[in-house]
Structure 1
Amino acid sequence: MPPKPEQPAPAAGSRPGPRRRDAAASRERLLMAAGELFGERGYDRTTARDIGERAGVDPSMIARYFGSKAELFIAVLRAESDTDTFADLFDDTRLAGLVERIDRQGPGPVTQVAVRPYADPAAQAAAAAELDRRIVAPLRDRFARTGDEPAALRAELLTAAFVGVALARRAGTLTHLSAATPDTLLPLLRHLLN
């Protein structure tokens, strides 16, 4: 069989041939970009176009890979929901981890839903369920075990207090709170939660 002739290199300025698509990589890039943007801007202020631009993927691929922006949001929440993110706020290690994470990344979609409901009912329900599963339920279970009633109300009250501190710290309006180091903040936060 005769050898194949070499293909000439494309001329300068000419368009390259079609690029091979990697569906798994595109899906992962969309998931990562959406997680970043939902954390930065919230669900309602993030558009499919924003997500596509950040991911370097055509925004129409959101519908192909996830079905809708709300379903992409739910996929982001599920991707984050490993057991390490569940937080009994009375566990010093987990409390410190949550404070450090919010200081580093800002309040994510699950934290934000406690104070700012989403316009999309599917996104609201998904974020609220994750907030309950990650923070409220461990507290509620702790209070129920110790007979501290009303367990559900106390769990939600402490969750609201923690989220309020985290959001206020991030906003920078309360200068002493924003400037406090975790070493200074954590004992005061523990005292507040008890």
Structure 2
Amino acid sequence: MPQPVKRKRDRAATRAALLAAARARFALRGYDATSVRDIARDAGVDPALIFRYFGSKEQLFEQAAQAAEEYGTEPADVPEDVPTRLLHAAMRQSAGSESGHPLAALLMSSGRPDCRERLNAQLHHDYVQALEQLVDLPDRELRAELLTAWLLGITVARSLAHTPALSEACVDEISPYFEQVAAVLLGTSAR
């Protein structure tokens, strides 16, 4: 009689599944309303694996809320198309998607002072600093923050509020409006 074939465990796939499940849960319910058991159940694994791969729920949240690699841009490398790239990043979270945008996780958890501080720091690092480098006007920080607020609003409308028109619109439909506003705020409309 043949022996059953044992499957090799795939640490990277399990870790990625936990991270995706955590990101979705935290974006939907926030840190306090999300349990380790919920995340593990969504990922189809034992809750103990969260502690093995991430150390704690808090450390898992930290990684789930990181946006720079997947969603944002690094300010050190600022091309002219940063506003368009940031729009694309905000649009990756489509209505009905199972994955949660990291900024939505921070927003849903912003009742916690540490999450509010992290949201502020992440917005400043991933968005405001990159946009400030494109503005050559005295009020560049205000302009960069206004455009960041609009991007955040797009993220909230699509991933948390699920507003119908914005949730159903593709990036090509939104880009012309966004580019016009970005040009005004960045001071490039007259150039």
TM-score, normalised by the number of residues in structure 1: 0.66
- Aligned: 1:185 with 2:178: no
CA shift, 1:159, in A, is 0.8
Does the aligned pair in 1 maintain the 2:18–2:50 contact within 8 Å?
Answer: yes
Does the aligned pair in 1 maintain the 2:86–2:151 contact within 8 Å?
Answer: no
**1:108 corresponds to:** 101
**2:122 corresponds to:** 130
Structure having the higher Rg: 1
CA shift, 1:135, in A, is 1.4
Higher relative contact order (CA 8 A, sep 6+): 2
CA shift, 1:71, in A, is 0.9
* Alignment: residue pair count: 175
| Structure 1 pair 120–23 and aligned structure 2 pair: CA distance change class (3 A) | farther
For residues 88-131 of structure 1, the C-alpha deviation after alignment (integer angstroms, 9 at most, x for no partner) is 79726414522531336476122564x55523444444443332
Long gaps (5+) in structure 2: 185-191
- Aligned: 1:76 with 2:68: no
- Aligned: 1:153 with 2:142: yes
**1:30 corresponds to:** 18
| Structure 1 pair 172–81 and aligned structure 2 pair: CA distance change class (3 A) | closer
**1:98 corresponds to:** 89
RMSD: 3.7
For residues 5-49 of structure 1, the C-alpha deviation after alignment (integer angstroms, 9 at most, x for no partner) is x7x989xxxxxxxx9866555433322321232334343432211
TM-score, normalised by the number of residues in structure 2: 0.67
| Structure 1 pair 186–60 and aligned structure 2 pair: CA distance change class (3 A) | same
Question: Match of 1:54, SS?
Answer: helix
| Structure 1 pair 138–66 and aligned structure 2 pair: CA distance change class (3 A) | same
| Letter matched to residue 132 of structure 2 | R
* Displacement over 6 Å in runs of 4+: 87-90
